[in-house]
Structure 1
């Protein structure tokens, strides 16, 4: 019941922020302009509305993927953008740019999803060899693993004179989102929504391989489903708006601290919280140095660091 009330409250906050986001930007736009100026409605439909929708989908999908990955590796200090999945997607984009420069956006997404899946599987294989008594090794190895892949991508891009091109994908921002350039994110929203129907299985996987098998769960199949969902969402996000770190790390930890680890009941709150946080960061990025913009990845990185430090030191509180 309490979770339901919080979902309703979060939906109201998200709707208010979304309405405000439509009228924040370099070009002044007021609600009254929609019926007084001929170009105002076109600006809203072509730029402001697609951007707001893209921000909401990205925040919600990355938060859900972070919660799923934390269950798969049984560690609360990992997320796709810092554990190699995001860097793997960037590697796929680089490969397409080098060998198939005329490829469509859909082909880029497919290749990026494959390389993201491969890097996620590699990270999972490394994690399984780590001692379970030292959980902090998992995020440390994840950062090193992602850093190595990211360094390789940067080196190859430098050699091919594509460094500035790759930097677009390595830094998340929504200024380039327009009608016709964000629609693939609806596929990410669909994948995140479908993952909700496997929430119970992901929660069981979080209990460990032995417990999952004893409960009759096909452990390997569920892990593969989770990795495929992570790879698709991460690839779509990186291809469309770039890498946005900390969303999948901070948001699931906040929700877990207050509501526990029952993914069936917490995933809607996780999605709403991720959307609200990323949308707030995007609005702040547009306002802090107006009329210039700060990338949302930078803004959320600062906010996410502060929130994560608070999570480490604040007393744990659980609402049933």
Structure 2
């Protein structure tokens, strides 16, 4: 029976990966074509494969829309993989970097560095973001583990939301005190409009390392998702797996916050959707989550650009409109898909 289920999951994985790649390519071409100024798909294709520097449309695509689309894919994939890892290792169906307080810590660290050390370069900001994410992660786990009952999925989510509110308030305080103003407000709403090739060159190697590490760790995440007792029986070093998985989540979340701000719900929605289609084997869940997280973020960014032209709606608002009902649905249903 297990062999049949594994083969079925493998077949489904192949089908949905091919479908996801096709949809992602289509979404990417729409992403570089649609915006405040519409550019024909034919022109977008020519800008990529037959670039002409004398054409304004080609310059717009190469310097603005193409890096923005790549940033969308990197951020979406990173957040979806982070959510899948957290849901598997904690056996918490509500785990997400935004809901667990990780993104708020990275955002607070960014606000603090903008206020006190504005001369920091992009790499230094990325390091600061990861440090902030690790601080709130530690606080969330500490708060959730206190008390007689110890850590439970429900306590972990409540602790994460509380920490998120706390550090969100502190970020707002810094914004008011140091007059960070509009820049931080738009940053916290979430958006990749300012993505540049130089910044992508910095985060891309970290993104690749994080994704490769998560794929290598995926068999261990599958065992841990069955429960710690089962994982111990299978000879898994639980402490080591949790340390490595936490590091992966911190890096992927940290780079995402630097690029797009504290966006929630991507890591919540995508892994649930993927497990429904390909099963609970994280060797399939993690790479498929990476692909569909990228797709969902690109599509959300397109929606944010076109629904209120010529103005843009930050991508964080789009995800909140999708994610809040989904979160409430999970809370009401009390699903445990592990």
Are 2:298 and 1:288 aligned?
no
Superposed, which structure 2 residues align to 1:103-252 within 5 Å?
103-129=120-146, 131=149, 135-186=153-204, 187-252=206-271
The residue that corresponds to 2:8 in the other structure is none
Task: Tell me, in whole angstroms, the C-alpha distance in 1 between the residues paired with 2:177 and 2:331.
Answer: 41
TM-score by length of 1: 0.89
Paired residues, number: 318
Runs of 5+ consecutive residues of structure 2 not aligned to the other structure: 1-10
**How large is the Cα RMSD of the aligned pairs?**
2.6
* 1:315 positional shift: 12
The residue that corresponds to 1:70 in the other structure is 87
Map Cα deviations across residues 11-43 of structure 1 (whole Å, 9 max, x no partner). Answer: 111111111111111233224444686233222
Ranges of 4+ aligned residues in structure 1 off by more than 6 Å: 312-316
Q: Give the structure with the larger helix fraction.
A: 2
The residue that corresponds to 1:299 in the other structure is 318
| 8 Å contact from structure 2 (residues 12, 278) kept in 1 | no
Task: Tell me, in whole angstroms, the C-alpha distance in 1 between the residues paired with 2:42 and 2:152.
Answer: 58
The residue that corresponds to 2:3 in the other structure is none
| 8 Å contact from structure 1 (residues 205, 223) kept in 2 | no
SS, match of residue 81 in structure 1: coil
SS, match of residue 212 in structure 1: helix
Of 33, 36, 47, which aligns to 1:23?
Answer: 33
The residue that corresponds to 2:273 in the other structure is 254
| 8 Å contact from structure 2 (residues 115, 180) kept in 1 | no
Runs of 5+ consecutive residues of structure 1 not aligned to the other structure: none
Map Cα deviations across residues 199-248 of structure 1 (whole Å, 9 max, x no partner). Answer: 11122233344443333222222111111111111111111121211001
* 1:257 positional shift: 3.0
Task: Tell me, in whole angstroms, the C-alpha distance in 2 between the residues paired with 1:222 and 1:313.
Answer: 31
Task: Tell me, in whole angstroms, the C-alpha distance in 1 between the residues paired with 2:254 and 2:151.
Answer: 32
Q: 1:177 to 1:254 in 2, by over 3 A?
A: same
Task: Tell me, in whole angstroms, the C-alpha distance in 1 between the residues paired with 2:116 and 2:265.
Answer: 31
* 1:56 positional shift: 1.1
* 1:144 positional shift: 1.2
* 1:177 positional shift: 1.8
